[in-house]
Amino acid sequence: MEWFSADDQPITTPRSVTFHIWTVYSEFVTWASVVSEWLKVGKDRGKLKTFINTTLGEAWEEDQGEKLEWEVLAKRRSNYLKVPARGVALFGGVDTQDDRYEGRVWAFGAGEEAWLIHRWVLTGDPASVELRKKVGQEIRRQFTREDGTLMRVERWCWDSGGHYSDEVRKESKKHGVTWVIPVFGAATYGKKIATFPKKKTKGDRVYLTEVGTDNAKELIYSRLKIEPDGDRPVPECIHLPLNELVCDEDEMKQLTSERKEWVVSKGRRVQRWTNGKRRNEALDCFVYALAALRISQERFGLDLDQLALEAQFVPSSGTWEVPEVPDVDEPEQSEPPIESARPEPPTTQADAPGDWHNVESNGWL
């Protein structure tokens, strides 16, 4: 057998040979079925990746020309000053920097439809007690939904990486170890969005949780491409407010700051998220809020669709009866029961009309 190069010149016999054979070579596949599969792809980016990988037999490469730019998000911002009626649960993320703490609050509804609700930035020494007191005030902030329902943030994830891990863990113990959860980014790619531990850490006794930031960012960027449809529900759609105090140009630039780039890792060429030295605190806070949602779903049985169904039956008083939360798995004998995710309300102030009921169970809201 003779071998020739691409320019039709004789070459020596290669040591190995590879072939590219895609789906149409199969005797069980027709051109009509391939075309039909392509038509079903439409504008769905996930389906397009699957078609490229499995049908065409080619490697998917991120199209740098399809990057999501902040101007696209700016044009589709919508007017809402309160938590939208479809938002049934709030989750927050706190990012730790060397000279400040930043936080974001996101509302989620059925189908994980999401709305950015609140942004705060507190500058100062992250190790100072005074600055952390201000963070505590933000953590306990309450929000009003369009129907008058008063809402607290269900769960927070607080970045404990960097130089202030001890301070963040202390705040977790102060506010409630299952309400304010210290998190750190996974050292390896491909980890689930949130891996809540079965046991507390030794010494400080907190639930230090690993966050798969790459998977979280992949999910967020795919959902940022979903277009809103007026006032109609759109599952997984991410809404941003037409409010410069919460979502200005800088916020949208931070949300779209990261790109996938090819790097060599352990001798393999792989894609990794990078911010290119651009600020990305808004994106990181969203990642942590999403991790808080995942912990609530996977560990504590939160069901957004069920909450959305129950929210339709809020009495005229504006008070939403908090559903019972199923018991979590019993820890080992050496572990005490998991504390309530929500702190006790202040005893010096009576419940105001439209406020939450004070329940003794591990309630969600």
pTM, entire model: 0.71
| Residue pair 223/73 in contact by the 8 Å Cβ criterion | no
Q: Stretch 155-160: mean pLDDT, rounded? A: 97
| Residue pair 281/97 in contact by the 8 Å Cβ criterion | yes
Residue with tokens 């439209």: 354
pLDDT value at 318 more than 70: no
Report the pLDDT value the prediction gives residue 17, as an integer from 0 to 100.
78
User: Looking at the DSSP assignment, which residues form a beta bridge with residue 236?
Assistant: none
User: Looking at the DSSP assignment, which residues form a beta bridge with residue 159?
Assistant: 183
Report the pLDDT value the prediction gives residue 339, as an integer from 0 to 100.
46
Report the pLDDT value the prediction gives residue 358, as an integer from 0 to 100.
43
3-state secondary structure the chain: CCEECCCCCEECCCCCCCCCCCHHHCCCCCHHHHHHHHHHHCCCHHHHHHHHHHHCCCCCCCCHHHCCCHHHHHHCCECCCCECCCCCEEEEEEEEECCEEEEEEEEECHHHCEEEEEEEEEECCCCCHHHHHHHHHHHCCEEEECCCCEEEEEEEEEECCCCCHHHHHHHHHHHCCCCEEEEEECCCCCCCCEECCCCCCCCCCCCCEEECHHHHHHHHHHHHCCCCECCECCCCCEECECCCCCCCHHHHHHHCCCEEEEEEECCEEEEEEECCCCCCHHHHHHHHHHHHHHHHHHCCCCCHHHHHHHHCCCCCCCCCCCCCCCCCCCCCCCCCCCCCCCCCCCCCCCCCCCCCCCCCCCCCC
Encode pLDDT of 195-251 as tens digits. 999 999 998 999 999 999 999 999 999 999 999 998 899 999 999 999 999 999 999
Report the pLDDT value the prediction gives residue 62, as an integer from 0 to 100.
56
Percentage above 70 pLDDT, the chain: 82
Amino acid at 154: E
Q: pLDDT confidence of 327, banded at 50, 70, 90?
A: very low
Report the pLDDT value the prediction gives residue 5, as an integer from 0 to 100.
81
Distance CA 283, CA 248 (A): 14
Other Cβ atoms within 10 Å of 287 Cβ, number:
28
Q: pLDDT confidence of 344, banded at 50, 70, 90?
A: very low
pLDDT value at 332 more than 60: no
- Residue 307: name the closest of 159, 91, 97, 163 by CA: 91
- Residue 51: name the closest of 76, 72, 23 by CA: 23
Residue 155, burial from CB neighbour count under 10 angstroms (0-12, 13-18, 19+): buried
Report the pLDDT value the prediction gives residue 41, as an integer from 0 to 100.
83
- Using CA atoms, how far residue 162 sits from 81, 98, 126, 166, in Å, is 34, 8, 11, 10
Encode pLDDT of 180-198 as tens digits. 999 999 877 889 999 999 9
The set of residues, in sequence order, having a beta carbon less than 8 Å from that of 292 and lying 6+ positions away, is 91, 92, 93, 154, 155, 156, 157, 181, 194
| Residue pair 119/251 in contact by the 8 Å Cβ criterion | yes
Q: Stretch 336-346: mean pLDDT, rounded? A: 46
Main-chain phi, psi angles of 34, to 5 degrees = -65, -45
163-177, 238-252, 343-357: which has the minimum mean pLDDT? 343-357
pLDDT value at 44 more than 70: yes
Encode pLDDT of 52-92 as tens digits. 888 888 777 655 444 678 999 999 999 999 999 999 999 99
Distance CA 239, CA 237 (A): 6
Q: pLDDT confidence of 313, banded at 50, 70, 90?
A: low
Main-chain phi, psi angles of 239, to 5 degrees = -105, 140
Report the pLDDT value the prediction gives residue 179, as an integer from 0 to 100.
97
Instruction: Report the Cα–Cα distance between both ends of the chain, in Å, rounded.
Output: 74
Report the pLDDT value the prediction gives residue 361, as an integer from 0 to 100.
41
pLDDT value at 281 more than 80: yes
Q: What are the structural domains of the chain?
A: 71-311 (3.30.420.280)
205 backbone φψ class: left, alpha, beta (φ>0; ψ -120 to 50)? left
Residue with tokens 């995710």: 341
Q: Stretch 282-289: mean pLDDT, rounded? A: 97
